[in-house]
Amino acid sequence: MPDQHSIALGVLAAVAAGLWAWRRWHYRSFWLVLGYPITAVTVLATWRKVALGCGLTKKRQRFWFTTVPGLVASTGVVRVKRKWQRIAVDTKPWMWLPMPTRHGWRVTLHILEGQIPADYADAAERLAHSWGVHAVRVTSDKPGRVRLAATIRDPLVTVDELPPSTELLKVTVGRLETGRPWVVDFRTVPHWLNAGATQSGKSNLANALIVGLSPQPVALVGFDLKGGVEFTPYSPRLSALATSRAECGGLLDDLVALMTDRMGVCRMASARNIWQLPPGLRPVPVVVLVDELAELYLMADKSEKDEIARTSTALLRVAQLGRAFGIYLFCCGQRIGSDLGPGVTALRAQCSGRICHRVNDPETATMTLGDLDPAALDSARAIAAETPGVAIVAGQDGQWYRARSFYVSEAAAEYAARSYADRAPAWADVMAAQPQPDSQTA
Ligand SMILES: Nc1ncnc2c1ncn2[C@@H]1O[C@H](COP(=O)(O)OP(=O)(O)O)[C@@H](O)[C@H]1O
Ligand SMILES: [Mg+2]
């Protein structure tokens, strides 16, 4: 009957449109209610096939009872003569129930004898294609177990806005691939290296820090050897800015003197660091932003050699001792290679926070990310030019993540710098002799 058909078609179309709209407007509930259960059942049902295809199964001898030869799951051709026999079966790693995550799902596996988590990491790309997902990340938090985390679509294609920073020296600058916030927290990771080719999003990250730190009671200091073009617009909020080599030398000397001063204060108060000082005595933390680190080390001619050596030593001292005395470094650069001199290698060792944006040469990625998992390096090399701000980040927990910074325009950073200009402590005040504990008691 034609009218019944058209009613059925109409209902189908309405359901399809409803589902489409649901998925479009409230993806999270759609995913939890409909997408995830279907995915979980499919993943469990197809796991044997997928594991076999990705080479994650092992052969085991099993007694098998069958009357129908086709039921025996084996790669070899099995001729069933008896109903009860011992045959080689492909066993798959035991899979727990997949659990939904913000951007996909994760599942724990019991790995088979002789396997290591790296076998699963090697198969990650195969798994991602088998499941039709953007990526599969492999971690292992217990011997004998691996956890696979699948992200359905690249969550870093669009990222939201920079949220306000509420905690001292802590700025949420972007989002990790896992959906969690990407936090630059100078109190846990004091010094950072931020590498990347031009247009990869280095300055965007510095802008995010300016916006995040401007309202906070911290002194911001800039080193900008590209003639000051990057940081001069933010000078209202900067307590000091060095734009030439001579100024850099002077400012670094100041920082070293400041550190020595603070050391004295801490010693008098028997404090190990400025955070153990009573709040009244605690000096203001200083965040040092360096744009184009290589410029600090590049030599036009031999006459600059001594000056560069001095700069390099001072910067290294700041990195080595700054942490305890509230001086934090954030160094950006296109290349952070050892070809710039031994000073850079030593500085790199002091910077535990590593950020690697898109880079032109594999060496820079290796230099920046150091001896992290080779998969991190592959991931860094695969960052596309169309997604500036995407980076591989290694922080305090020894793990690495793919992340993307929130877009922060120069205008936004300039606006923040102007709005909070009154919170910038004058450099003279920062440098002024620190209050001594004994002079207060006397
Ligand atoms: N997280 C991001 N999201 C969107 N666009 C970004 C992001 N980071 C950077 N960009 C864009 O990429 C371009 C280059 O970024 P920039 O930070 O100036 O790179 P770099 O300092 O490494 O040369 C900028 O025009 C900026 O608009
Ligand atoms: Mg830049």
Residue nearest to atom 1 of ligand 1 (CA): 389
Smallest-distance ligand from the CA of 156 = 1
Ligand 2 centre distance from Cα of residue 226 (Å): 10
> pLDDT tens digits for 149-167?
998 887 777 767 788 888 9
* Residue 259 and residue 313 in one domain: yes
Q: Is 345 exposed, middle or buried (0-12, 13-18, 19+ CB in 10 A)?
A: middle
* Residue 302 and residue 419 in one domain: yes
Banded model confidence at residue 381, pLDDT cuts 50, 70, 90: confident
Count: domains in the chain: 2
Residue nearest to atom 16 of ligand 1 (CA): 201
Residue nearest to atom 7 of ligand 1 (CA): 389
Note the pLDDT of residue 403: 93
> Residue 123 sits in which domain range?
29-57+92-151
Q: Work out the end-to-end distance of the chain between its first and last CA atoms, rounded to an integer number of angstroms.
A: 103
Ligand 2 centre distance from Cα of residue 249 (Å): 22
* Residue 144 and residue 200 in one domain: no
Among the atoms of ligand 1, which is closest to the Cα of residue 404?
1
Tabulate helix, strand, coil % of the chain (nearest 5).
45, 20, 35
Average pLDDT over residues 273-299: 91
Average pLDDT over residues 269-280: 91
Put the strands of the sheet holding 327-333 in their side by side order. 181-185, 170-176, 400-405, 390-394, 353-356, 191-195, 327-333, 286-291, 219-224, 238-242
Note the pLDDT of residue 441: 39
Which of 69-78, 123-132, 370-379 is the least confident region?
A: 69-78
CA–CA distance, 87 with 360 (Å, rounded to integer): 53
Q: Is residue 271 part of a domain?
A: yes
* Residue 423 and residue 291 in one domain: yes
Residue nearest to atom 9 of ligand 1 (CA): 201
266 Cβ neighbours under 8 A, 6+ residues apart: 272, 273, 274, 276, 277, 324, 325
The two three-digit tokens of residue 289, written as one number: 């932003």
Note the pLDDT of residue 440: 42
Ligand 2 centre distance from Cα of residue 199 (Å): 7
The two three-digit tokens of residue 281, written as one number: 């005595």
Ligand 2 centre distance from Cα of residue 251 (Å): 22
* Residue 218 and residue 326 in one domain: yes
* Residue 111 and residue 260 in one domain: no
DSSP-derived secondary structure letter, 59 = E
Among the atoms of ligand 1, which is closest to the Cα of residue 405?
1
Residue 217 has pLDDT above 80, yes or no: yes
CA–CA distance, 108 with 128 (Å, rounded to integer): 16
CA–CA distance, 404 with 358 (Å, rounded to integer): 11
Residues placed in the known binding site for ATP = 196-203
pTM of the model: 0.77
The residues lining ligand 1, judged by C-beta closer than 6 Å to any ligand atom, are 196, 198-204, 388-389, 404-405, 407
**Do residues 330 and 172 lie in contact, with contact meaning Cβ atoms separated by under 8 Å?**
no
**Do residues 175 and 159 lie in contact, with contact meaning Cβ atoms separated by under 8 Å?**
yes
Q: Is residue 80 part of a domain?
A: no
Specify the higher pLDDT residue, 171 or 25.
171
Average pLDDT over residues 320-328: 93
Note the pLDDT of residue 66: 66
Note the pLDDT of residue 442: 34
Average pLDDT over residues 185-201: 94
Q: Is residue 162 part of a domain?
A: no
Q: Is residue 432 part of a domain?
A: yes
Ligand 1 centre distance from Cα of residue 170 (Å): 21
Q: Is residue 73 part of a domain?
A: no
* Residue 370 and residue 417 in one domain: yes
Residue nearest to atom 25 of ligand 1 (CA): 199
Crossing angle of helices 245-268/305-321, nearest 10°?
30
Residue nearest to atom 4 of ligand 1 (CA): 407
Q: Is residue 74 part of a domain?
A: no
CATH number at residue 138: 3.30.980.40
Long-range contacts of 220-224 (CB under 8 A, 24+ apart): 220/286, 220/287, 220/289, 220/424, 221/251, 221/255, 221/286, 221/287, 221/288, 221/289, 221/427, 222/288, 222/289, 222/290, 222/291, 223/248, 223/251, 223/288, 223/289, 223/290, 223/291, 223/296, 224/291, 224/292
> What percentage of the chain has pLDDT greater than the value 70?
93
* Residue 258 and residue 374 in one domain: yes
**Do residues 228 and 247 lie in contact, with contact meaning Cβ atoms separated by under 8 Å?**
no
Ligand 2 centre distance from Cα of residue 200 (Å): 8
Among the atoms of ligand 1, which is closest to the Cα of residue 174?
1
Banded model confidence at residue 144, pLDDT cuts 50, 70, 90: very high
* Residue 235 and residue 125 in one domain: no
Dihedral-angle region of residue 199 (phi above 0 means left; psi in -120 to 50 means alpha; beta otherwise): left
* Residue 131 and residue 251 in one domain: no
Pocket test for ligand 1, best of 199, 387, 406 (most atoms within 8 A of CB): 199
Among the atoms of ligand 1, which is closest to the Cα of residue 206?
17
How high is the mean pLDDT of the chain?
A: 87
The two three-digit tokens of residue 162, written as one number: 């920079």
The two three-digit tokens of residue 194, written as one number: 């931020």
CATH number at residue 256: 3.40.50.300
* Residue 117 and residue 175 in one domain: no
Average pLDDT over residues 387-413: 89
Residue 439 has pLDDT above 50, yes or no: no
List beta partners, residue 151.
104, 135
**Do residues 376 and 177 lie in contact, with contact meaning Cβ atoms separated by under 8 Å?**
no
CA–CA distance, 274 with 367 (Å, rounded to integer): 32
Q: Is residue 141 part of a domain?
A: yes
Place of tokens 């400012």: 251
Note the pLDDT of residue 67: 66
> What percentage of the chain has pLDDT greater than the value 90?
57
Average pLDDT over residues 404-413: 93
Note the pLDDT of residue 75: 46
CA–CA distance, 330 with 191 (Å, rounded to integer): 6
Q: Is residue 159 part of a domain?
A: no
Among the atoms of ligand 1, which is closest to the Cα of residue 390?
1
Smallest-distance ligand from the CA of 197 = 1
Note the pLDDT of residue 361: 83
Ligand 2 centre distance from Cα of residue 389 (Å): 11
* Residue 139 and residue 261 in one domain: no
